Structure 1
Amino acid sequence: MIVHFEPASEEGIASVVRSAAAERVTLSIVGGGTRSGLGNPVRADRTLSTRRLAGIVTYNPAEMTMSALAGTPLAEVEAALDAKGQMLSFEPMDHRPVFGTSGEPTIGGVFAANVSGPRRYVAGAARDSLLGVRFINGRGEVIKAGGRVMKNVTGLDLVKLLAGSYGTLGILTEVTFKVLPIPPAAATIVVSGLNDAEAAAVMAEAMAQPVEVSGAAHLPESVGGRFIGGALPEGAATALRLEGLAASVSLRAQKLASALARFGPVATLDLDQTKALWTEIRDAKPYADGTMRPLWRVSVAPSAGHQLVAALRLQAGVDAFYDWQGGLVWLRMEAECEAELLRRYIRAVGGGHATLLRAGEGERTRIPAFEPQAPAVAQLAERLRASFDPSRIFNPGRMAVA
């Protein structure tokens, strides 16, 4: 039976880590447990959760910064921000639908996994909002890096290193991050009937327009009907989001619709439809299907996404849709994971990386979930891990991907 620890204090977590290091036993580090299906399975002697280390430490709406303990539910953070008309600009994905997990996502888990959504290509990833951290290394030492305002850049590289390290370098206990005002208005321009290559051209055209597009996604016909209750125009839909003041959004929407009308039928979604659509794009709704069919999150150049999918369709059964102007491909395999084929084709279209987000237990055990690192990068990662966690007690079997 695996022993489960849920300390309610930073010192309590540090004590568990020191004991584990002394006893040479390994720890699986979790927050709310909502991303338990991500990556290769962790085989550890004990589980250590930060769930009880919760609460907002400080929130300064005027300076647009917040500090929170790592186990604070993401919903609590977002509710506090929403009350002041502010938000996390990077739109963290809720992984529960695609994994079929329960529990509550935590703010520490968001930053530990560098979880970012549709606005990432214009607003940055989660790590770009992170200002400071407190964490516990593999020796059970408490370390602080960064500060509470952007102008304080002390330790910024260390802060960014912890974001996206998936609990392999240290256990986050407190995070300080910047927030932004919620745009008071939003609309989405939808161009209908485009194939994948045509949609890539349209998204590139939209990004070149002086209208500040904050979301660009293409939903092929195979998935289009599964968004916002089938309320999108019939067939494939290329969606372009605009945000800001109401008068500005209205004017920019008119300009963008006019510029794109030559490509196909154009429709406009209102604020409520826009919020619903981009939440479902963020959470990969078409693939929250209750199955364990392999799901990949692939990052390539925006112009290469449709080329990659077209090549794969000649060799394997795949379904896909595109975010980040085509640079993020949500790719579901209908049967096998096809990891070697996928990664070979990624190299052929100019490079990128693929993360196996979901698969059966057997496939997750034998297939590298994260993109294999180049030898020099792998060596550097191992040296970092040896420095942060010399006894290798954190999340054994999981590759540090920071």
Structure 2
Amino acid sequence: MLIPNTEADAAYVIRNAAADRKPLAICGNNTRGFSRANQPAEPISSRGLTGIVDYDPAEMVMTVRSGTPVSEVETALAANRQMMAFEPMDHRGILATKGEPTIGGVFAANVSGPRRFTAGAARDSLLGLRFVNGRGEIIRAGGRVMKNVTGLDLTKLLAGSRGTLGFITEVTFRVLPVPPAVETVVISSLDDEMAAKAMAAAVALPVEISGAAHLPASVRSRFINGRLPDGEATVLRLEGLGPSIEVRAQKLAAVMEAFGPVATLGMERSLTLWREIRNVVPYADGTEKPLWRVSVAPSAGYHLVSALRLEAGIDAFYDWQGGLVWMRMEADPEAELVRRYIRALGGGHATLIRASEAAHAEIPTFEPLPDAIAALSARVKEKLDPAGIFCSGKMGG
């Protein structure tokens, strides 16, 4: 494994690889090892590029080298009662990997948790970055303030590119204050369809919901040590000042009582629950059972699961108001079936997060791109990585 200790070292290594047309597989600490490549490639890791470069809590902006562990970033932010708004998940449980997730990996994979549907994805917090392209050139995109749009498109482009366009060396992103209080309103015993309707009604209310998930009976007991009310649990998160939350929770409960029995969890259990939803704890089971992460319209999620249950063994729960579906298959990944139903429901994205090595070798990890978008992606790839040394095939297709 190649582990450059400076940005200049990374540029040197990549220039040489480009000259030799030697494939490279970019990684941090390899905690999200679910992508595939079409040919053998030597790993190049950002783990040698560590440290917080600049952090002014008053500005709520942080600049960090890409190999810095996420835990180090979170510790520095917590000392100032601040946080990353997009709640990056930790994949280690569901993938049975070790090591420390890196901040560069978070942005390279655009990792976003339950607050995504209100606060935006990781890329929406990203203000700027530095990276080395496939020619070995060091490029700076974006800046420290949101209104500085220089290189904005390039910044967004690198976020979510999973190491296929460049080796990220540094990221600058905005942070937010930690909410002083958190509450979760739970509506019990709703089926998937009624839960989708309840979440849509809740999000439409002026109560500022920051999390909306539905946990069917098959997974409910695997959250917060089974301390959720019996039956299915539809959970709605409120964050902010204590007195404000009390009033908002009362307003929310009054409307939700039309759907089913309502209860609240309190702050401690709320924090645990949403951390477990973020990290997909029910499927951190130490198995290779195929696990899909599906992004669709919130109104389509339960239709997808209902249709698939008629043809395959499936366990599922919903985040992002029903628009993010985590699905564990009992045996075969059923890739064609999953993707066919997604197309029939108006489109979306299905990512095969976990499967056996044999299944990963046969099935594209990521949603195959439509021809027009695939052609555009190829042109972008050719501009930033003309020799094609970065992870060919990693984005599926």
Counterpart residue number, 1:305: 301
**In structure 2, what residue type is equivalent to 1:84?**
N
Counterpart pick for 1:381 among 361, 377, 380: 377
Distance 1:211 1:351 in 2: 30
**In structure 1, what residue type is equivalent to 2:114?**
P
Residue 262 of structure 1: SS of its match in structure 2? coil
**In structure 1, what residue type is equivalent to 2:233?**
A
- Cα RMSD of the aligned pairs, angstroms, is 1.1
Task: Tell me the TM-score normalized by structure 2.
Answer: 0.98
Identity of paired residues, percent?
63
Q: By how many angstroms is 1:44 displaced?
A: 3.0
Counterpart pick for 1:274 among 255, 260, 270: 270
1:208-250 deviation per Cα after TM superposition (whole angstroms, max 9, x unaligned)? 1111110000000000000001110111100000000111011
1:48-97 deviation per Cα after TM superposition (whole angstroms, max 9, x unaligned)? 10001000000011111000000000000011111111100000010000
**In structure 1, what residue type is equivalent to 2:295?**
S
Contact preservation (8 Å) 1:28, 1:43: no
1:161 has 2:161 as partner: no
Counterpart pick for 2:168 among 146, 164, 172: 172
1:77 has 2:77 as partner: no
Contact preservation (8 Å) 1:169, 1:400: no
1:20 has 2:17 as partner: yes
Counterpart pick for 2:41 among 42, 45, 54: 45
1:223 has 2:225 as partner: no
Contact preservation (8 Å) 1:44, 1:396: no
Residue 5 of structure 1: SS of its match in structure 2? coil
Residue 165 of structure 1: SS of its match in structure 2? coil
1:210 has 2:201 as partner: no
Change (3 A) 1:236 1:242: same
Counterpart pick for 2:102 among 71, 86, 106: 106
Counterpart residue number, 1:181: 177
**In structure 2, what residue type is equivalent to 1:358?**
R
Counterpart pick for 1:31 among 28, 32, 47: 28
Residue 258 of structure 2: SS of its match in structure 1? helix
Q: By how many angstroms is 1:22 displaced?
A: 1.5
Contact preservation (8 Å) 1:166, 1:400: no
1:22-55 deviation per Cα after TM superposition (whole angstroms, max 9, x unaligned)? 122111111011001x222464331110001000
**In structure 2, what residue type is equivalent to 1:29?**
I
1:8 has 2:5 as partner: yes
Q: By how many angstroms is 1:262 displaced?
A: 2.1
4+ residue runs over 4 A deviation: none
Q: By how many angstroms is 1:292 displaced?
A: 0.6
Between 1:208-217 and 1:41-50, the stretch displaced more is: 41-50
Distance 2:242 2:327 in 1: 35
Distance 1:96 1:376 in 2: 35
**In structure 2, what residue type is equivalent to 1:166?**
R
Counterpart pick for 2:251 among 255, 258, 262: 255
Counterpart pick for 2:353 among 345, 348, 357: 357
Task: Tell me the TM-score normalized by structure 1.
Answer: 0.97
Distance 2:352 2:178 in 1: 32
Distance 2:202 2:309 in 1: 27
**In structure 2, what residue type is equivalent to 1:220?**
P
Query: Any unmatched runs of 5+ in structure 1?
Result: none
Distance 2:26 2:392 in 1: 10
**In structure 2, what residue type is equivalent to 1:5?**
L
**In structure 1, what residue type is equivalent to 2:279?**
D
Change (3 A) 1:45 1:329: closer
Q: By how many angstroms is 1:395 displaced?
A: 1.3
Report the number of matched residues: 397
Residue 214 of structure 2: SS of its match in structure 1? strand
1:243-266 deviation per Cα after TM superposition (whole angstroms, max 9, x unaligned)? 001110111111111111121111
Distance 2:312 2:243 in 1: 47
Distance 2:129 2:186 in 1: 40
Query: Any unmatched runs of 5+ in structure 2?
Result: none
Between 1:259-268 and 1:178-187, the stretch displaced more is: 259-268
Contact preservation (8 Å) 1:34, 1:96: yes
**In structure 1, what residue type is equivalent to 2:328?**
R
Contact preservation (8 Å) 1:190, 1:240: yes
Contact preservation (8 Å) 1:165, 1:400: no
Counterpart pick for 1:88 among 58, 76, 84: 84
Q: By how many angstroms is 1:400 displaced?
A: 7.7
Q: What does 1:289-328 align with in structure 2 at a 5 Å threshold?
A: 289-328=285-324
Contact preservation (8 Å) 2:22, 2:389: yes
Distance 1:209 1:381 in 2: 39
Q: By how many angstroms is 1:399 displaced?
A: 2.0
Residue 151 of structure 1: SS of its match in structure 2? coil
1:142 has 2:113 as partner: no
Distance 1:40 1:245 in 2: 45
Between 1:111-120 and 1:341-350, the stretch displaced more is: 341-350
Distance 1:396 1:160 in 2: 20
Distance 2:166 2:40 in 1: 15
Counterpart residue number, 1:57: 53
Change (3 A) 1:400 1:76: farther
Contact preservation (8 Å) 1:168, 1:400: no
Distance 1:186 1:338 in 2: 39
Contact preservation (8 Å) 1:41, 1:364: no
